[in-house]
Structure formats: structure tokens, C-alpha cells
Amino acid sequence: TSEVMEAFKAVETAKQGKETALNNANKYRNEQLPLAQAQADGIIKDAEAQKTERINEATAQVARFNAMYEEYIKNPTITKQRMFYEAMEEVLPDLKVVIESPNGNTQTFYPLESFTGTTTGSSTENSTSETAQ
């Protein structure tokens, strides 16, 4: 009979252990699911924001390209020169650049900062003086 009592106690202890383990697992699940859902929602919102940002940037680039293309159709030579000068201003923002044209005229470009004291953009000044060597 003491063996039966020991076996009964062991079974009851095992049942209680099972219930405790199930309760702990359910508690953990109930704590972690909302956290995981919140994290997933945050990741989705970030991805949607990046998607919107990329679409807006692409749309803006298309609009800039189309505007430039319309100007190019109207005045191809002037547009090519302007694009070249803008690229030079971007690559060499702090340098004075002198460009000699085939007809002997020169064009001098100064950084805008030298005129305004600011640190953004640049300006051009055209001259038809002697060529600089």
C-alpha cells in the first residue's frame, strides 16, 4: 500500500508539473505574441515608408528628366553646355574654372560662395576676353 501511495503521489506530482509547464508556456506565449506583432508591424511600416520614399524619388527624377528633355528638344546645344557646366560645378565646387570655346571666347566660372559668403551652389560669369593658358 505504501507503494501505491508513492505511485499516486508521483502521478499527482507529474500532473501538477504538466499543468505548471503548460501555464508557464501559455504565459510566455501571451507575453511574446504582442511584442512580436508590434515588431512585425514596425518592420512593415518602415518598409512601406521606404517604398513610398523610393517611389516619390523616382517620380521626381522622372519629372526632372522630362523637364530637361523638353529643354533639350528646344535648344540641344545650350542644354548640353548647361548640363556640362552644372556637372563641373558639382565636381569642382570650389575652383575657378576657365573654359575656352572653339571660337576663342572664354567663360569663367566662380563658386557662388565667393560672392555671397554662403556654402551652397555656384554661379557663372561669362566673359569674352583673351584666352587664359
Average pLDDT for runs of 10 along the chain of length 133: 93 97 98 98 98 98 97 94 85 73 75 52 41 37
Q: What is the CA radius of gyration of the chain?
A: 37
Residues contacting 109, CB < 8 A, separation 6+: 85, 88, 89, 96, 97, 98, 99, 122, 123, 124, 125
pLDDT at 112: 53
pLDDT at 79: 93
CA 10 – CA 33 distance, rounded (Å)? 34
CA 42 – CA 59 distance, rounded (Å)? 26
pLDDT at 120: 45
Does the reported pTM lie above 0.75? no
B/e letters for 25-59, b = 16+ CB within 10 Å, e = fewer, are eeeeeeeeeeeeeeeeeeeeeeeeeeeeeeeeeee
pLDDT at 114: 55
CA 126 – CA 46 distance, rounded (Å)? 48
Domain ranges across the chain: 1-74, 76-133
